[in-house]
Amino acid sequence: MRDLDSLWMEHQGLTRRYLLRMGALGAMGLALPSGRAVFADDKPDPLAEAIRKLEYFTQPEAFGTVERGTPIPYTHPVEKLREVGMTRETWKLEVIPDPDAPAKMDAPLSKELKTALDFDGLMKLAEKHAVRFPKIMTCNNGGSPLGMGLWEGVPLRTVVWLAKPQSDLRRVFYYGYHNDDLKQRFQSSLPVGRVLEDPPGEHPVILCYKLNGEFLSGKRGGPVRMVVPEAYGFKSVKWLQRIMLTNAPYANDTYANGNNDVDSWMKTFARFISHPATVAADASIPITGLAQVGISGLKKVQVWLHPAEQALSPDDPYLNQGAWRDAEILAPPKNWAGGLPEGKLPENVRGFDPKTGEPQTWPMRYALAHWAVVLKDVAPGKYHLRCRTIDANDVAQPLPRPFAKSGRNSIQQVDLMVTAK
Ligand SMILES: Nc1nc2c(c(=O)[nH]1)N[C@H]1C(S)=C(S)[C@@H](COP(=O)(O)O)O[C@H]1N2
Ligand SMILES: [Mo]
């Protein structure tokens, strides 16, 4: 799913300076998890040019994608795309009562009543209400993020209020274009409270039309997708066309199938990006990675080098007792890239100081952090190398929620061989 090569490119710029400072970038260069050497400082490399264009935000086309449909909706010929509202010129959004448990509302936005919201209408609302924020897209069933975007949209509540809801409203159901085949429908839902009121510090749920400053492609869910800041990917429904206000008190998410925890907030966890497979005993060992910063924030990233032949304690399933040592969480980048002009963030990005353009807090929730560490003087032998996060509540990964169907966050483990001189 996730293309590690492109993730690697985003990450290199941040880690390279750190590793140079630590004297760890010698002739050995760094290696991808696959073991492929990417560059050595003293050698020209085919990737050197790309490395100069390193990215923190993910280029829209470099995102990992989780999609369904036969055919995939945005692959229809353009005439068909127009016909089914999958272009900005023809897109329409309905906000109607759920026929099975109708909320009372005075002004439904419906195609039948010719009151549905079109893209021009959304852009009018955007002039006054548009918001932008960084967010990682992660599938709860994926081992690492699909990509990190700067998402722009109109708060969903702005459009919900246009429909004048009055009562009998407990949840918001929504789905996208699905080839008009019920079996292909991908739907999700939120409590109405989450839509109407943001907990302090949280971003609003948005009707999103731009990613990294450009209109959303069909592949990324355009013309319009939902983006739910604190949630895993399945809440962020693509090709959005219908919202139903319901008095039903339960979730109706497609992702409730397949045993998924549909109420899970994003978790904090660490992943390796680069680590050598084999090093000589006298060499420094540069290790880099990323952390997804979930609802509970990020205080530390740690690594643990454990001799492979030493058994793990059966009383320590979450590896709390390892000899963990701190890595360095890297400062925010200067160049945010991801296709943003000159790598600069636009004005008024939530979480950034409007005067200085600097992040107000770092690491930032729901965004990536990059980290690096250099290990030295490791005795020859075979090792298991692991990484983990400590969240802002001082809870070590994979706790406080170790269960995979709420979002995969097991501690990653890789092999490392240290050879005698
Ligand atoms: N309409 C629709 N929206 C969808 C999906 C889908 O299959 N159809 N997949 C969901 C899932 S499971 C995930 S993880 C995210 C992935 O977003 P991305 O493909 O833009 O990375 O999209 C979500 N939105
Ligand atoms: Mo997903």
Check whether 132 has a pLDDT greater than 80: yes
Where b means 16+ CB within 10 Å and e means fewer, 23-52 reads: ebbeebbbbeeeeeebbeeeeeeeeeebee
Looking at per-residue confidence, does 375 or 14 come out higher? Answer: 375
Which range has the worst mean pLDDT, 6-10, 15-19, 226-230, 280-284? 6-10
216 touches ligand 1 (CB under 6 Å): no
Query: Which of the following CATH numbers is that of domain 60-258: 3.40.190.150, 3.90.420.10, 3.30.70.270, 3.40.228.10?
Result: 3.90.420.10
222 touches ligand 1 (CB under 6 Å): no
Q: Is the pTM of this model over 0.85?
A: yes
- The angle subtended at Cα 46 by Cα 41 and Cα 49, nearest 5°, is 75
217 touches ligand 1 (CB under 6 Å): no
Check whether 46 has a pLDDT greater than 50: no
**Could you count the other beta carbons within 10 Å of the beta carbon of residue 246?**
23
Residue 199 DSSP label: P
pLDDT of 23-43, one tens digit each? 555 433 343 333 333 333 333
CA dist 351 and 63 (Å) reads 23
CB atoms within 5 A of ion ligand 2 belong to: 66, 139, 233-234
Check whether 5 has a pLDDT greater than 80: no
Nearest CA to ligand 1 atom 24: 237
408 touches ligand 1 (CB under 6 Å): no
- Supply the pLDDT for residue 53: 34
Q: What phi, psi does 161 have (nearest 5°)?
A: -65, -30
Evaluated on CA atoms 126, 127, 131, 134, the torsion sign reads positive
Are the C-beta atoms of 389 and 371 separated by less than 8 Å? no
pLDDT of 167-196, one tens digit each? 999 999 999 999 999 999 999 999 999 999
60 touches ligand 1 (CB under 6 Å): no
Ligand 1 atom nearest 66 alpha carbon? 19
Ligand 1 atom nearest 232 alpha carbon? 14
Ligand 1 atom nearest 175 alpha carbon? 1
Q: What are the extents of the domains in the chain?
A: 1-53, 60-258, 267-419
Ligand 1 atom nearest 63 alpha carbon? 21
240 touches ligand 1 (CB under 6 Å): no
Looking at per-residue confidence, does 20 or 149 come out higher? Answer: 149
pLDDT of 302-351, one tens digit each? 999 999 999 999 999 999 999 999 999 988 988 888 999 999 999 999 99
CA dist 274 and 283 (Å) reads 16
- Centre of ligand 2 from the C-alpha of residue 229, in Å: 14
407 touches ligand 1 (CB under 6 Å): no
- Centre of ligand 2 from the C-alpha of residue 342, in Å: 31
* Sheet with 269-274, edge to edge strand ranges: 269-274, 285-292, 368-375, 328-329
- Centre of ligand 1 from the C-alpha of residue 91, in Å: 19
235 touches ligand 1 (CB under 6 Å): no
CATH architecture of the region 267-419: Sandwich (2.60)
